[in-house]
């Protein structure tokens, strides 16, 4: 029995399939998920789990080099925007785009994790990074 790391089997398997530059989304309860994209629905109740809860767990096991977030998030939920875009640390690039474009780009992600979050425009697109394990002879 797996007792450490990502214990949700579906999310763990999805993370294993992520390669450098692949996309994953963590979305709110109302996000319109494309039918052709793998959907892992972990929503239990209103606010449970939250997107920030999921990002905190993903940070422990997943390398992210960029977060893509809607302009509406920054405009309407600036505190949430700051917390979510800092979830993977200060070195992670943040790209801000219109929410309509974020929904369009969702068609190109490998996996969407739907939460019980009701934060308006709380959706986060994660671009998988290479992490700090890669060896370089010369930097």
Domain 14-128, architecture per CATH: 3-Layer(aba) Sandwich (3.40)
pLDDT of residue 132: 79
Output the six-digit token pair for 56.
């905190």
pLDDT of residue 37: 98
Q: Given the structure tokens 């920030």, which residue do they identify?
A: 52
pLDDT of residue 139: 72
Distance, in Å, from the CA atom of 139 to the CA atom of 137, rounded to the nearest integer, reads 7
Q: At what angle do helices 78-85 and 51-61 cross, to 10 degrees?
A: 10
What is the total residue count of the chain?
A: 139
SS3 label, residue 16: helix
The question of whether 36 is a catalytic residue gets the answer: no
The structural domains of the chain, with segments of one domain joined by +, span 14-128
Mean pLDDT by 10 residues, the chain (139 residues): 90 97 98 98 98 97 97 98 96 97 98 98 96 80
Contacts of 125 (CB under 8 A, 6+ apart): 23, 24, 25, 67, 68, 69, 102, 105, 106, 109
Q: What is the CA radius of gyration of the chain?
A: 15
């Amino acid at each position: 029995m797996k007792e450490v790391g990502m214990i949700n089997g579906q999310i763990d398997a999805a993370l294993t399939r992520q390669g450098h530059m692949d996309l994953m989304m963590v979305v709110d309860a109302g996000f319109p998920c494309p039918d052709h994209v793998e959907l892992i629905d972990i929503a239990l109740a209103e606010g449970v789990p939250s997107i920030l809860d999921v990002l905190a767990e993903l940070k422990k096991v997943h390398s992210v080099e960029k977060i893509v977030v809607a302009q509406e998030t920054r405009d309407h939920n600036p505190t949430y925007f700051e917390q979510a875009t800092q979830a993977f640390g200060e070195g992670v690039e943040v790209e801000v785009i219109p929410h309509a474009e974020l929904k369009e780009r969702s068609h190109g992600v490998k996996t969407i994790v739907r939460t019980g979050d009701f934060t308006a425009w709380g959706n986060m697109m994660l671009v998988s990074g290479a992490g700090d394990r890669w060896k370089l002879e010369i930097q």
